Chains A and B, each alone.
Chain A
Amino acid sequence: MAYLLTINGQSHEVDVEGDMPLLWVVRDHLNLTGTKFGCGMAQCGACTVHVDGVATRTCVMTVADSVGKNITTIEGLQSPQARAVQQAWVELQVPQCGYCQSGQVMSATALLEQNPNPTDADIDAAMSGNICRCGTYPRIKAGIKMASAQFTNAAETA
């Protein structure tokens, strides 16, 4: 069946079964491979995208349920918070293998978009659904703080 999706501001029509998770639609049918597969059951966060601005696990969200939503993948990230996060990620050399990092960046960006100045506890709460087997957690936390400072400063001078 055909489904019309809005991803990164563009319309895409895909002809797949309605129970196909959005993850496999973007990866296998739309060639947006930045969104990763790690568990398939909302346990690891590798597949995180923004659905109407909310960090969402695409491995358990069907294509049928994705219709009419505003979907942003790592390829379409544009907000100042996203840029601040990605800049901090490079500067602090957060990624190791990097496989989890698209999801980490999506979760961190969503956090900062909602809470520009998160505490350690806020960060733990927002990020503990994203597993990193390389253990980059300390640098992720430092990266969010660095981004938060950049964003706060940018907002103040804007």
Chain B
Amino acid sequence: MNIRRFLKTDTAVPDSSRRSFLKVSAGASAGLMLGVSFSAPTALAQQASDAALEFNAFVSISPDNTVKVLIKHLEMGQGVYTGLATCVAEELDADWSQVVCEHAPADVTKYANLLMGQQGTGGSTAIANSFMQMRQAGAAAKAMLVAAAAAQWQVNASEITVSNGVVSHGNHSATFGELAVAAAQQPTPDRSSLTMKTPAEFKLIGQDNTLRKDVGKHNGTAIYTQDVKLPGMLTAVVAHPPRFGAKIRSFDASAALARRGVQQVFEIDSGVAVVASDYWTAIKAREQLQIEWDASEAETRSSGDILAQYRELVETPGAIAEAHGNPDSVLSASSDVTELMFEYPYLAHAQMEPMNCVAQVNGDSAEMWYGCQSPTSDKAAIAQLLGTSGDKVTIHTVFAGGGFGRRANPASDYVLESVQIARQVPNTPVKLVWSREDDMQAGYYRPAYVHKLSAALDAAGKPNAMKIRIAGQSIMAGTSMAAMMVRDGIDNTSVEGLTEFAYDVPERQVELHSPQVGVPVQWWRSVGHTHTAFSKEVFIDALARKAGADPVAYRLELLKNNPRETAVLKLAAEKAGWGTTELPEGWGRGVAVHTSFGSTVAEIVDVSVDGNNFKVERVVAAIDCGIAVNPSIVKAQVESAIAYGLSAALADEVTLTDGHVDQTNFHNYRVLRMNAMPKVETHIVPSTNAPSGVGEPGTPPIAPAVANALAAVTGRTFTRLPLRLA
């Protein structure tokens, strides 16, 4: 099927004569893409000429001088369009203004995440996995342009220079566009023959001269799933069960069906679907459904009961996730053990764009339009549902209005829901839209946890033994990733951050309980580190207070063998004026440092306390993320990660009463707003190391840094999120 008929504004397709220019490539890193990308257009991409000539899987150049970069990761705000295109443009020596980006199609053979082995975005790996790959794609295309120019001008390729999108030799010069047709016919260079720049030669990487390429977000023209419009498209909403695991006993749709604009009402696995002409009609019709639910297999406990069970669990031995020495014997010999119990609630992602997905099922094939974060696993799940093969599933990826993990659902929940609906309305595009209430109540939360940490201090006041017990649902258990991610009963995402931490504690053990609970759970920006960093950093602070030590000096002593955390912590402390600047009466300063997704972040927080209220006034952050491809975006991501983590530190909490989720919308799931946002100052540690994660590592330190700042004012230790003074 030709999707051009369906897209509101279509991207043009190269005609067959142009396609015949393209050669089949043998290069593994630069295989020529003979298929055509149909990603829904962005404002800039619409301007790209229809004559785009494909140099390799990532780079096309048009005679109109546009360089198009195909982006294999989902742009959800983290800046991946800009980051990956910067790497291509750097080695291509393109002019930044000629570069446009588009999402790559779902094709694992060309667009796999090199750290995941499948196409997907997550774990703060977008730049980390593709830094060299994108640079090679740019360098390969440049070599083809140079070869074409050398042939045309009858000169030696090695004497040709390329700068800002212009290829030159003596009196000759040509734009990329002028050379595109000839260059695309050059043989694809071997990866080993490519000359790559040294960091000292970078003109775009590490500079502030690369404005974002995910354009159209300031004027409403950027296209999200919510905005996809196709001829004849219908809108679907779903009545989900009021408790997780409840089933439909019976339902009466007669009143709903009588409403003008309602097309169909039917049962699917996850509830009752209403398909109508538009969203409002569908929502009104849903209110008129009479559904009887069978809750006999539903989760009917309250979150309080679940946490009470976890508190009991952490008093008993769990599966051993990490063991160094024998902390038990040290602890039992000590007369003065410090013990803290920590509690963490369920959290909703509450990304700005509620879940949605557009699907059209024609016979055994499916065509999808959405902010797709896991193309490979979603595609496999769709194919399995339809009893078809992956090549019958086409995914067009559009911008996501935030994700924070939610769009990469290990069960492809919202994706399969939309396919189940579209299958019942064949040959018709159907947009599934969740209301905010659906988004808040239909699941997939950061799991609730209880931790118990115990430590003994040696004569110098340093912890010589530590025992850590964690209780909470496994995110990976029961998913297709369990085989890979759960080893000997340990889901690493439950313990990461408390295992392999940087502090020098000779004897320590981490144990885990992973109880089964009927609440659907999923990763949430920074995954396990959302809770483990809090326990670790609040506990270390409590130990420092007990030892009568300065919190930064105490950490530096315990980080003696970790130069990276030491350097980042020192930078943040220096920039924040730790120990050198006075704070007003009623203010406190707190610190936390944590490594996740390959990067280290330290944050120093100033809070002001007024009775039972407090305000976070300022955050000074330092990050070591290797080479900062785009420093402005690195800083934006640190600001974003702080805001997201601070929201959870101050207010976010999903609770259940008898299995019913209590929160429904932003009036009772109270996320961070501008009036609570502190000033944020971010300092990047200069580095020539390969880039590491940026999207998530700023989140883990913020909540403990705030708790530690509150402790500095009040003398109390805060062990529960969200933070409350009373």
Contact = CB atoms under 8 A, between A and B. Distances in A.
Contact of A38 (B278, B354, B404): B354
A73 interface: yes
B436 A135 contact: no
A98 B217 contact: yes
Contacts of B639: 135-136, 138-139
Contacts of A73: 220
A40 B220 contact: no
A157 interface: no
A36 interface: yes
A40 B440 CA distance: 13
B483 interface: no
A89 B672 CA distance: 21
Given A20-B280, A97-B399, A135-B642, A41 B667 contact: yes
Interface string B339-352: 00000000000111
A37 B8 CA distance: 20
Interface in A116-158: 123-125, 127-141
Contacts of A89: 217-218
Contact of A24 (B229, B279, B353): B279
Contacts of B224: 36, 99
A140 B673 CA distance: 12
Interface string A52-91: 0000000000000000000001110100000000100111
Contacts of B222: 98
A5 interface: no
A128 B212 contact: no
Contact of A35 (B211, B220, B353, B402): B220
Contact of A93 (B235, B351, B352, B636): B636
Interface centre among B8, B220, B353, B639 (most CB of A within 10 A): B220
A100 B218 CA distance: 10
A39 B353 contact: no
A82 to B, nearest CB: 9
Interface string B61-96: 000000000000000111100000000000000000
A74 B643 CA distance: 26
A105 B218 contact: yes
B196 interface: no
A90 B218 contact: yes
Name B's interface SS: loop
B655 interface: no
B666 A94 contact: no
B473 interface: no
Interface residues of A, number: 58
B220 A97 contact: no
Contacts of A17: 260, 280-281, 284
Given A74-B220, A96-B636, A124-B674, A134 B227 contact: no
Given A40-B436, A138-B680, A127 B674 contact: yes
Interface residues on B, range: 35 or more
Interface string A9-48: 0000000110011001001110101111111110110100
A133 B218 contact: no
B226 to A, nearest CB: 6
Contacts of B350: 133
A133 B402 CA distance: 7
A34 B221 contact: yes
B279 A28 contact: yes
Contact of A134 (B221, B280, B640, B680): B640
Contact of A133 (B212, B220, B352, B633): B352
A99 B675 contact: no
A24 B280 contact: yes
Given A38-B353, A74-B219, A93-B636, A131 B212 contact: no
Contacts of A29: 278
Contacts of A37: 226, 279, 354, 433
A153 B358 CA distance: 46
Contacts of B284: 17
A95 B218 contact: yes
A75 B220 contact: yes
Contacts of B665: 39-41, 43
Nearest to A126: B674
B279 A132 contact: no
Contacts of A34: 219-221
Contact of A90 (B78, B211, B278, B281): B211
Contacts of B280: 16-17, 20-21, 24, 28
B644 interface: yes
Given A133-B644, A139-B639, A99 B673 contact: no
Given A100-B352, A135-B677, 6 more contacts: A24-B279, A101-B217, A131-B673, A134-B77, A135-B646, A141-B674
15 contacts: A17-B260, A24-B280, A28-B235, A38-B436, A77-B219, A97-B217, A97-B400, A98-B401, A101-B218, A123-B674, A134-B352, A135-B641, A137-B643, A137-B677, A141-B674
The 8 lowest CB-CB distance pairs between A and B, nearest first, are: A34-B220, A135-B643, A99-B401, A98-B217, A97-B77, A96-B77, A74-B220, A95-B217
Interface of A: 16-17, 20-21, 24, 27-29, 31, 33-41, 43-44, 46, 73-75, 77, 86, 89-91, 93-102, 105, 123-125, 127-141
